[in-house]
Copies of this chain bind each other. A is one copy, B any other.
């Protein structure tokens, strides 16, 4: 720390001091198994520490550091926000608030929303009062998202919505949904879609949780029957919602690629291999498994470095291309390989669904083993949700490699 330092250094020192003074000690511990980060919203039950940590951050605008102060943000520069993130990470602090409000709909409103929508929605997002969910997919519209059929018929000052959405994560816990609806059934499919904000408490909205092959999940189906949404809740223009949705999707892909690997995944695999296959002079005794772990970790290193390269490139002013598709594709498949390999290592211990240890404590399946099995099942969804691998391959082939359109393939955007 050379001398007094720049303004940024001053900010760093002040921030650190503030964090040290204000963060409850419990907010400097990792989440316990089963514990959830603070997502905000009316239905969330928060511990006093979580609430306090949220409150002090809200007061300083640190839940949305770079958003304008007008809406309750911190008004920080990108450089300052980076410093804040670094200091929080250095202290092992939990983020005071996460969620689709901060990461998806908020930024979109800042870019594209009318002033009235911003004033209405951004402050409650910043304060963690409102939790959001995303209403895109429908039972008949998966990869071909633009073929969605939920209709919104204009009736005076409102749209009347009928249809259903699927894969709406946390719809049960959300207060609002940003939703794609068809406002012009006659137009070409991308051209009749509108991006709306919908209060989940509106009459006619019902939510049903989806059970996955891996067990309970945050996903829901949301049924809409005559749901009345004010036309003032349109983001952007009527029938122009598709472009907004696509921008958010690309953003989501990058997040997904980044999210899979847990810090200690390698250690877990190696430890499981030593435990189940033996250790031979400090090495995993089974050379085949050793080779598979090494191959996985090498590919993971290559992907991590590629993501770093994209970030370094962006910092150096390079325009981003379609890297998000590479990250999504490779990141999800790597996670599947990892989960599959974990089961292969566990062998007969990878077959449990539910288990209580036997009297002697040696029978049955341990919690880590049960988790490995469910993680494997859950990972199969990674290459489907957020844009299937097939869609990512299409995007890379067409947009990156410039290969000609297949006559049989969809002619219209992915």
A interface list, Cβ under 8 A from B = 286-288, 291, 406-409
Contact = CB atoms under 8 A, between A and B. Distances in A.
Contact of A408 (B287, B288, B291, B406): B406
A390 to B, nearest CB: 14
Contact of A288 (B287, B407, B409): B287
Nearest to A407: B408
A242 B409 CA distance: 30
A288 B286 CA distance: 10
Contacts of A287: 286-288
Contact of A406 (B286, B288, B406): B406
A124 to B, nearest CB: 48
Nearest to A409: B408
A407 B408 CA distance: 4
Nearest to A405: B408
Given A287-B287, A288-B288, A406-B406, 6 more contacts: A286-B287, A287-B288, A288-B291, A406-B408, A407-B408, A408-B409
Contacts of A406: 406-408
- State the 10 A-B residue pairs at the shortest beta-carbon distance, nearest first: A408-B408, A406-B408, A407-B408, A287-B287, A407-B407, A288-B291, A287-B288, A288-B288, A408-B409, A406-B406
Nearest to A287: B287
Contacts of A407: 406-408
7 contacts: A287-B287, A287-B288, A288-B288, A406-B406, A407-B407, A408-B408, A408-B409
A406 B408 CA distance: 5
A119 to B, nearest CB: 49
A408 B406 CA distance: 5
A288 B287 CA distance: 7
A100 to B, nearest CB: 37
A269 B181 CA distance: 62
A287 B284 CA distance: 13
Contacts of A288: 287-288, 291
A287 B409 CA distance: 44
Contacts of A291: 288
Contacts of A409: 408
Contacts of A286: 287
A398 B407 CA distance: 17
A409 B407 CA distance: 8
A407 to B, nearest CB: 4
A284 to B, nearest CB: 12
A41 B172 CA distance: 82
A398 to B, nearest CB: 13
A277 to B, nearest CB: 12
A405 to B, nearest CB: 8
A406 B291 CA distance: 40
Nearest to A406: B408
A280 to B, nearest CB: 12
A60 to B, nearest CB: 57
Nearest to A286: B287
A287 B288 CA distance: 7
Nearest to A404: B408
A292 to B, nearest CB: 10
A407 B406 CA distance: 8
A406 B407 CA distance: 8
A88 to B, nearest CB: 45
Nearest to A291: B288
A406 to B, nearest CB: 4
A255 B286 CA distance: 41
A286 B291 CA distance: 12
A235 to B, nearest CB: 35
A286 B286 CA distance: 11
A374 to B, nearest CB: 29
Contacts of A408: 406-409
A286 B287 CA distance: 9
A406 B409 CA distance: 8
